[in-house]
Chain A
């Protein structure tokens, strides 16, 4: 892990020795690949603006000749978009805030407090990063069932509060802060809580931003757990609602489904634009998280 350039992702600042390819060929190749990468997204947006009747007409239009919001009105008519969006927002928001709290506190304890069983407890946290959710989903479902939390939003939220990766990341973050700060505060008579509260916690914001943005990105798009836990439509999150919308409709209403996809993408794209840096840092130092 230490080799993955943990928290510094400087841009490529140096010019490289001569390459095999001519510069124009490299840029042309990269442009083609970028178009292939973004093409499906562009198609989704432009097709969602065509009327349901002509959505499947070929050729596809980059800019619809006759843009229509009919599909968007359609998607609001077919599924309760507001309810799905509210559910998704509640689940994602509470998980993100919850993870920032649990990871911030536990990360600080592992980095700056002394207590018994510190090493084995940290090893336990690290070990759970290796355990895929899909493998434990059956017992997790049964644990939640015994707490009467299946088919509730809380059942999605509570198990996601502890985050092994976030704890690891925040521990690294606190370890990177100068130790003298805390020792100076202790000398001035601050207890352990005051030291945390007024010295270290205020410095943790960038690290917490990484934890929060990653949590948002992952849980906003999450599909597997909601599919298993949420059985009644009123508890669906957006991805679940969209997949079932696609299943319920015939091929005729592509643009309605795509309008729903576009709506559900908006917050993810917003986070991509605003929080690209913490997102990139998180993804490169994490990976294991997914």
Chain B
């Protein structure tokens, strides 16, 4: 590496028109820019057409009445008014929030308990068998799994009620009573999703230096005590990521309630995304569906921002 080295392309950058007396680097510079343009074009054009334009489009559409067949009519804020006055929409937001709290709490709890238990002493092969088993449901289709679960949770013929019968529990109307249906949707969702948080926690636990555990053991901290006062604070950055992603995903839940209960009984498991789907693609009220979509987007952003704010107090970086 001596002075004869061709200056890297970056060095040319500040001078907007390339210097006239340095033809080689400037030709290379132009080549670099052309290559960058070609390399970026598919991604940037795709993102603009299929994400940026639709975001702006959602907001614009939410201000119009439109059924795709007739001309759009300007509606001002009346779609939002209609949405806030619509019992089904309000219930769907409540359901989605209830679902989110239950599903994320259960998912994190199960994943954390399993990840912590897995750190104990055991043969390496056994550990990788468990790890594979716990993340296996993630590779299956949520829609197909919900079809399977619908049979398993059947009140009269389902295996689950049959098993519960052995411990003396009367058949539970898993899918047909308003209270139980939400629980069932949460269970099916968590069954498939906990593996994601589990993998995050296993990774996070791996990153905790061994010495810290040894120091904690020397100080006499063992078992649950040690986990509460040593492991959890060190795992808090991972907990933050797992809960943020868990919440964002839970707020978009669709497949499980769509297949298991189709939103019922009544509206007890109807979620916001189901309402967007039904309003737009079954009732052809595109303006109102967009208004619901915009509200969901705002909700997701607000919850995420709140979470990062709270996390400043509770997340410890090493």
Chain A interface residues (CB < 8 Å from chain B)? 1, 3-5, 9-12, 14-21, 23, 26-27, 29-30, 33-34, 37-38, 40-41, 43-44, 56, 58-60, 101-103, 105-106, 108-110, 113-116, 121, 124-125, 128, 130-143, 145, 158-159, 161-164, 167, 183, 186-187, 191-193, 196, 217, 220-224, 227-228, 238-240, 242-243, 246, 251, 254, 257-258, 261, 264-265, 268-269, 271-272, 276, 279-280, 283-284, 287-288, 290
Chain B interface residues (CB < 8 Å from chain A)? 5-6, 8-10, 13, 28, 31-33, 35-40, 42-47, 49-55, 57-58, 61, 68, 114, 117-122, 124, 126-130, 132-145, 147-152, 154, 157, 159, 162, 191, 196, 199-200, 202-207, 210, 213-214, 216-217, 222-224, 226, 237-238, 241-242, 245, 248-249, 251-252, 254-255, 259, 273, 276-277, 280-281, 286, 289-290, 293-294, 296-297, 300-301, 304, 317
Q: With A134-B293, A162-B46 in contact, is A258–B135 under 8 Å at CB? A: no
Q: Which residues in A have their C-beta under 8 angstroms from that of B203? A: 4-5, 9, 284
Q: Do the beta carbons of B191 and A108 come within 8 Å of each other?
A: no
Q: Which residues in A have their C-beta under 8 angstroms from that of B259? A: 243, 246
Q: With A3-B241, A269-B139 in contact, is A121–B40 under 8 Å at CB? A: yes
The distance from the CB of B146 to the nearest CB of chain A, in whole angstroms, is 8
Q: A34-B133, A136-B293 are in contact. List 12 more A-B contacts (CB 8 A).
A: A11-B127, A17-B226, A43-B148, A114-B32, A132-B248, A134-B254, A135-B58, A162-B50, A164-B47, A196-B35, A221-B140, A251-B154
Nearest CB to that of A30 among chain B residues? B130
The distance from the CB of B76 to the nearest CB of chain A, in whole angstroms, is 19
Q: Which residues in B have their C-beta under 8 angstroms from that of A159? A: 46, 49-50
Q: With A192-B28, A287-B245 in contact, is A223–B143 under 8 Å at CB? A: yes
Q: With A4-B241, A271-B139, A280-B135 in contact, is A109–B49 under 8 Å at CB? A: no
- Which 3 A-B residue pairings sit nearest by Cβ, starting from the closest? A20-B223, A162-B46, A139-B57
Q: Which residues in A have their C-beta under 8 angstroms from that of B61? A: 138-139, 142
The distance from the CB of A223 to the nearest CB of chain B, in whole angstroms, is 4
A26 to B281, CA, bound (A): 49
Q: Do the beta carbons of B35 and A193 come within 8 Å of each other?
A: yes
Q: Do the beta carbons of A115 and B53 come within 8 Å of each other?
A: no
Q: Do the beta carbons of B58 and A136 come within 8 Å of each other?
A: yes
The distance from the CB of B11 to the nearest CB of chain A, in whole angstroms, is 9
Q: Do the beta carbons of A16 and B213 come within 8 Å of each other?
A: yes
Q: Which residues in A have their C-beta under 8 angstroms from that of B248? A: 132, 288
Return the contact of B293 from the options A44, A137, A164 (Cβ within 8 A): A137
28 A-B contacts (beta carbon < 8 Å) = A4-B203, A18-B223, A21-B120, A30-B114, A30-B118, A37-B133, A38-B136, A41-B140, A105-B39, A109-B39, A113-B36, A115-B33, A121-B44, A125-B43, A131-B297, A134-B254, A135-B58, A138-B54, A138-B290, A139-B290, A162-B45, A163-B43, A192-B32, A223-B143, A242-B147, A261-B147, A276-B132, A287-B242
Q: With A106-B39, A162-B47 in contact, is A143–B54 under 8 Å at CB? A: yes
Q: Do the beta carbons of A23 and B121 come within 8 Å of each other?
A: yes
Return the contact of B114 from the options A1, A5, A33, A141 (Cβ within 8 A): A33
Which of B147, B149, B200, B296 has the largest number of chain A CB atoms within 10 A? Answer: B147
Q: Which residues in A have their C-beta under 8 angstroms from that of B300? A: 132, 135
Q: Do the beta carbons of B159 and A60 come within 8 Å of each other?
A: yes
Q: Which residues in B have their C-beta under 8 angstroms from that of A288? A: 245, 248
Q: Do the beta carbons of B144 and A239 come within 8 Å of each other?
A: yes
Q: Do the beta carbons of B55 and A136 come within 8 Å of each other?
A: yes
Q: Which residues in B have their C-beta under 8 angstroms from that of A196? A: 35
Q: Do the beta carbons of A27 and B51 come within 8 Å of each other?
A: no
Q: Do the beta carbons of B42 and A106 come within 8 Å of each other?
A: yes
Q: Which residues in B have their C-beta under 8 angstroms from that of A125? A: 43-44, 47
Return the contact of A12 from the options B54, B118, B141, B249 (Cβ within 8 A): B118
The distance from the CB of A135 to the nearest CB of chain B, in whole angstroms, is 5
A268 to B259, CA, bound (A): 20
Q: Do the beta carbons of B223 and A223 come within 8 Å of each other?
A: no
Q: Which residues in B have their C-beta under 8 angstroms from that of A287? A: 196, 200, 241-242, 245
A121 to B40, CA, bound (A): 9
Q: Do the beta carbons of B35 and A140 come within 8 Å of each other?
A: no
The distance from the CB of B23 to the nearest CB of chain A, in whole angstroms, is 14
Q: Which residues in A have their C-beta under 8 angstroms from that of B43? A: 102-103, 105-106, 125, 162-163, 167
Q: With A21-B120, A134-B252, A134-B293 in contact, is A139–B196 under 8 Å at CB? A: no
A114 to B216, CA, bound (A): 49
Q: Which residues in A have their C-beta under 8 angstroms from that of B52? A: 124, 128
Nearest CB to that of B237 among chain A residues? A3
Q: Do the beta carbons of B241 and A1 come within 8 Å of each other?
A: yes
A114 to B34, CA, bound (A): 10
Q: Do the beta carbons of B58 and A272 come within 8 Å of each other?
A: no
